[in-house]
Structure 1
């Protein structure tokens, strides 16, 4: 049985651990060790704890028993979406990460619905995200949840630039 709970500042190590592990699990083979290390080191446990203390950030965990198996994080829009017509009240789905063994059981659907509801409750009229161009599974998932692909976006992992796609869902 999967349960959900809001994260607290004391959850920085949990959030950081999931974020680093799931990024490596999903994308680790795409980067040099130097670039991958530089990227994941930016997401220290202390940095995630600081984010969780920021009232602009909200995180929801998915839990199987007492183990956290995924999360979604929203906040104010930081992506370069202004040039693509982003509204002043736009929010951003900054991360949606789930451990691979838990893919396909509905967790991502629940967390995406939570992200949209939480953004709407904050007064946002739209929710933006970026997704890796070659992550076709995620692109299909977001399309099913009403996210339209808007424009390419350069996402840096260390010194390597990847092409992501900016996506927007109207709330």
Structure 2
């Protein structure tokens, strides 16, 4: 059974655990180990997660499968996409699953949940950036109707960045 839970600051330990683990599982090879470790320490400590969860603009959702946390998403409403003029749009800043849940179609469920929240907020689309070498994720988003609309860089540390595709899903009728 699949369920969704909106995360609050008290869920910081869960976000730190699932967030750090799922990031390393999917992107651990995208940079030197020391860079990835520093990124996880900076962004997935319980303190960092609690601060993010307190930000009113952020909307975090955990997905559970048979009562077990399987992943999470982070969306930010009314966040302009640097590659297009369409507004208002929601940024899908994170959508991560733990590797053990990849074959359960939970990524699709979590994305559809994020899209529903975005539409309920009156947004015209959903955008994201995805590491250019994450071919699995790029194919996933293309299958969901996203189009590549630009390129950018994702900063892991002050002097280490990865190239990303900027992708956009325009909602029908817009």
TM-score by length of 1: 0.90
Alpha-carbon spacing, 1:123–1:90, altered in 2? closer, same or farther (3 Å): same
Deviates more, 1:69-78 or 1:105-114: 69-78
- Cα deviation 1:7-62 (Å, max 9, x = unaligned): 12211111121111111112212322331122112212222222222221112211
Bigger CA drift: 4-13 or 97-106?
A: 4-13
Equivalences for 1:153-168 in 2 at 5 Å?
153-158=152-157, 159-168=159-168
1:170 is matched with 170
Q: Deviations over 1:54-100 (max 9, x none)?
A: 22111221113442110111013657x33x22333111001000011
Is it true that 1:108 corresponds to 2:118 in the alignment? no
- After TM superposition, the structure 1 = structure 2 runs for residues 124-139 of structure 1, keeping only pairs within 5 Å, are 124-139=123-138
Does residue 6 of the first structure (1) align with residue 32 of the second (2)? no
Deviation at 1:154, TM superposition (A): 0.8
Q: Give the Å deviation of 1:113.
A: 0.6
Match for residue 85 of structure 2? 86
CA distance in 2, matches of 1:64, 1:6: 15
Q: Is the 8 A contact 1:57 1:73 kept in 2?
A: yes
Instruction: State the secondary structure of the residue aligned to 2:87.
Output: coil
Note the aligned Cα RMSD (angstroms).
1.7
Pairing of 1:8-157 with structure 2 (within 5 A)? 8-43=8-43, 44-76=45-77, 81-82=81-82, 84-157=83-156
Q: By how many angstroms is 1:137 displaced?
A: 1.1
Q: Which runs of 4+ in 1 moved over 6 A?
A: none
1:128-168, CA deviations, whole angstroms, 9 ceiling, x for partnerless residues? 10111111111111011111011111112223221110000
- Which of 18-27 and 30-39 deviates more? 30-39
8 Å Cα contact 2:79/2:88 also seen in 1: no
